[in-house]
A and B are shown apart, each in its own frame.
Chain A
Amino acid sequence: MKRDPDKLDRYTAPERVNHWLVAFAFILLALSGLALFHPAFYPLSQLFGGGIWTRILHPFIGVALIFSFGSMFFRFRKLCVLTPADWEWLRHAREMMGGDDRNMPEAGKLNGGQKLLFWLLAACMTLLVLSGIVMWRAYFSFLFPPGVIRLAAVVHAATGAGMISLIMGHIYLAIWTKESIGAMLYGKVRRAWAKQHHPAWFREMTGGRK
């Protein structure tokens, strides 16, 4: 990244580190979880040292995710409160995906989609943690009746698939919106980028100057 004093600070270093810790834990969880979910994905268990290591590691990586996402949750929860403008933004999201962003309400530091994703992920992770504890045979399953464990298995699988879908969407949108991965890697964005994608935040950062 070229040094450029004109660039705007978007994410602090601790925010970035936190985000990538969550991302790393999540990717490992998704791969190991899929391996245990469907025979077609079982070969993924080789990435973790075989089926037994996959079974041992998956829940512990889950614990790592609880702490890393927990930290991110408290870091971003105020920033992610959805305002009426965000809901309006979401109603126009389809147009924007179609390539027409003329009618988009001005997004703040985060847009409605990013904020909604944050809350959906928080909800998914709550369900995954609760059902995951029930399914963790080595330590907790003996505390629960079979019916609860069976329900937990369904909830865990369905929520896991839902969350992987959300993250795939998240990753795609980051690729689609050029320069946004750079924002999360280096913390800075060009002024033009900020004005294009987050106009309200751009004005806030530059005090109304162009």
Chain B
Amino acid sequence: MALQSLDITRRSATTTPSPSQRQTIEVAKLIDVTKCIGCKACQVACMEWNDTRDAVGANHGVLDNPTDLTENSWTVMRYAEVELEPGKLEWLIRKDGCMHCANPGCLKACPAPGAVVQYSNGIVDFHEENCIGCGYCITGCPFNIPRLSRKDSKVYKCTLCSDRVAAGLEPACVKTCPTGALVFGSKEAMLHHAEERIADLKSRGFAKAGVYDPKGVDGTHVIYVLHHADRPEIYSGLPKDPSIGAMVELWKGAAKPLASLALGAVAAGAFLHYVTKGPNEVSEEIEKEFEE
């Protein structure tokens, strides 16, 4: 969705400035898992607004449906049955989808100019018209979010309803949430709201309640309130300390200038060698031997 174009902080595979004349307020979606009832209204709203439809799946004996994100399901509910203490079952429901990292691995990995953009409000958006279908964004994502479509070989994920947000609306999932587990606003306001929720949770016995806004990716624009913030991985594998990772940093960081310099140095070295030492020709002596 390319409705906002004046407030782009970063474009993939681009070394020149992006259209960034307009500055917008940094936004965030807060997912309060402690209020979530797992009704999947957000999933439905997401498909309704974006007009995508997933294939009818099969029941796997659990509520997860679909069982994973797809190119049509940009958000899914994950249901974890966890026994932190023996005999004390906890049903931890998490809404999964793009986290809109401040330092996005997808954008860093993408080789196609402008296929991944980050707006000044923090939303990380895919511009599928520029996508070449290489899947590097999938390789770069620390949260395993983007999905490659078999139909058109383009990659899709949650846009945080960038089209709605651009028009001053909240994302469709937030609009539809019946329990107030989803809240949308400025990142500052969301962090403030989270603090209030955490104080309330702590007063009710959840000593480890906290906000999930991982610093390894410089924070995210989708943040969670978790009752067990010390163990995010029990929420269906929410990464404890996500980061772009050494391999991706090397691949898309140091390797690019170093390898380019190395190739330039080989070319320059060859040229200099030819100019200083001259060609390697058959010697006069041997030429004479064969002359007659």
Point out residues on A near B: beta carbons under 8 Å: 35-42, 51-52, 54-56, 96-99, 135, 137-138, 141, 146-147, 149-151, 153-154, 157-158, 161, 164-165, 168-169, 172, 175-179, 190-193, 195-197, 210
Contact = CB atoms under 8 A, between A and B. Distances in A.
A153 B251 contact: yes
Interface string B109-140: 00111000000000000000010111110110
B89 interface: no
Interface in B247-292: 247-248, 250-251, 255-256, 259-260, 262-263, 266-267, 270, 273-274, 277-283, 286-287, 289-290
Interface residues on B, range: 35 or more
B270 A172 contact: yes
Given A55-B133, A153-B248, A39 B14 contact: yes
A99 B279 contact: no
Contact of B139 (A36, A150, A165, A178): A150
Contact of B153 (A138, A161, A175, A190): A138
A37 B111 contact: yes
B23 to A, nearest CB: 25
B68 to A, nearest CB: 12
A157 B256 CA distance: 9
Given A36-B111, A51-B132, A196-B286, A158 B148 contact: no
Contact of B282 (A54, A151, A176, A192): A192
Contacts of B279: 175-178
Contacts of A192: 282, 286-287, 289-290
Interface in B127-185: 130, 132-136, 138-139, 144, 148, 153
B251 A195 contact: no
B277 A153 contact: no
Contacts of A149: 139
A209 B283 CA distance: 19
B262 A165 contact: yes
Instruction: With a 10 A CB-CB cut-off, give which of B14, B255, B263, B280 has the most chain A CB atoms.
Output: B280
B13 A42 contact: yes
B59 interface: no
Contacts of A52: 132-133, 153
Interface in B1-49: 13-15
Nearest first, the 6 A-B pairs at minimum CB distance are A137-B135, A161-B259, A150-B247, A172-B270, A51-B132, A39-B13
Contacts of A141: 135, 138
A2 to B, nearest CB: 15
B270 A193 contact: no
Instruction: With a 10 A CB-CB cut-off, give which of B251, B274, B283 has the most chain A CB atoms.
Output: B251
A40 B15 contact: yes
Nearest to A35: B111
B237 interface: no
Contacts of A137: 133-135, 138, 148
Given A153-B139, A165-B262, A177-B280, 8 more contacts: A37-B256, A40-B15, A146-B144, A150-B248, A158-B255, A178-B282, A179-B282, A197-B280
10 contacts: A55-B134, A96-B280, A99-B277, A146-B139, A150-B139, A150-B248, A169-B270, A178-B282, A191-B290, A195-B289
Instruction: With a 10 A CB-CB cut-off, give which of B248, B250, B255, B286 has the most chain A CB atoms.
Output: B286
A193 to B, nearest CB: 5
B1 to A, nearest CB: 20
A11 to B, nearest CB: 19
A195 B288 CA distance: 12
A161 B254 CA distance: 13
A153 B247 contact: yes
A161 B251 CA distance: 12
Contact of A178 (B247, B270, B273, B280): B280
Contacts of A153: 136, 139, 247-248, 251
A112 to B, nearest CB: 15
B247 A98 contact: no
A174 B119 CA distance: 50
Contacts of B274: 172, 175-176
Contacts of B270: 168-169, 172, 176
Contacts of A138: 133, 153
Contacts of A98: 277
Contacts of B130: 51
A151 B132 CA distance: 21
Given A175-B274, A177-B280, A151 B247 contact: yes
